[in-house]
Amino acid sequence: MRRYRFTLLMLAVCFVLIPPMIGWAAPPPTEVEELKREAPVHVKLEITQDRVERILNPDPMSPVQLRIVEGRVLEVFKQPSSLGIGEGSLLKVAYSYLPSWSWDQYAGGAPVDVRPGDRIEIWLVPDDEYGTEAWTPVLGGNTIVHLIRVESRPDYIKEPLAHRLSSIDWIRGGLQAAYFTGIMVFVLYVYRLWRRLQA
């Protein structure tokens, strides 16, 4: 019975020490199409401006910014009667920005990747998440189609040296091996200590 309890304790320790993966399930295509159909605004835009509104996550290894782009309306497919936009109107769109060097830390839905000069087709809902007066993509990058992409797409946040080094395969593999080796050494040490106390 005591050995059974000890095993459960060690499993709990391992679950606590092993870092969790950041990610979410990719939305099924049928769900994406349904959300597009339900979106109150569906337009084509040319992005003219892009600015940072505030920092959502200051962690330099996985930063997230709230950014707002301004787009010139090229074509309107759907809009509520209260909006009243037409060709040439300006529309603000809020989105959470992830630098491209951090994309491999996430799984699932596509990140928003827009730059001034891009022409996009986009499905929008009112911004109830960030509290701005802008609109926001229904489902991130999954509800944005690029018609024209500018070639120059620099990241707005520079990649830290520590992240750049950790992304090198042999360094990442060595760090992971050292981490899990340390966990095993710790577990074995606790086990031997427990055996001594039971003697």
Domain CATH code at residue 121: 2.40.50
* Helix, strand or coil, per DSSP, at residue 78: strand
Containing domain of residue 106, as a range? Answer: 29-157
Tell me, what's the pLDDT at 4? 52
Residues 69 and 138 in one domain: yes
Token look-up 């024209």 returns 148
Residue 11 CA to residue 108 CA, distance in Å, equals 28
Tell me, what's the pLDDT at 55? 95
Residues 130 and 193 in one domain: no
* Helix, strand or coil, per DSSP, at residue 107: coil
pLDDT at 37 over 60: yes
What total of structural domains would you count in the chain?
A: 2
Residues 130 and 113 in one domain: yes
Tell me, what's the pLDDT at 50? 96
Residues 136 and 171 in one domain: no
Total-model pTM: 0.69
Residues 97 and 181 in one domain: no
Minimum mean pLDDT range among 112-116, 130-134, 170-174, 191-195: 170-174
Higher pLDDT, 163 or 126: 126
Residues 108 and 36 in one domain: yes
Tell me the per-residue pLDDT of 47-75, one tens digit each, with 9 for 90 and over: 999 999 999 999 998 899 999 999 999 99
* Helix, strand or coil, per DSSP, at residue 146: strand
Tell me phi and psi for residue 182, to 5 degrees: -60, -40
Residues 12 and 36 in one domain: no
End-to-end CA distance of the chain: 16
Residue 33 CA to residue 88 CA, distance in Å, equals 27
Tell me the per-residue pLDDT of 102-121, one tens digit each, with 9 for 90 and over: 887 776 679 999 999 999 99
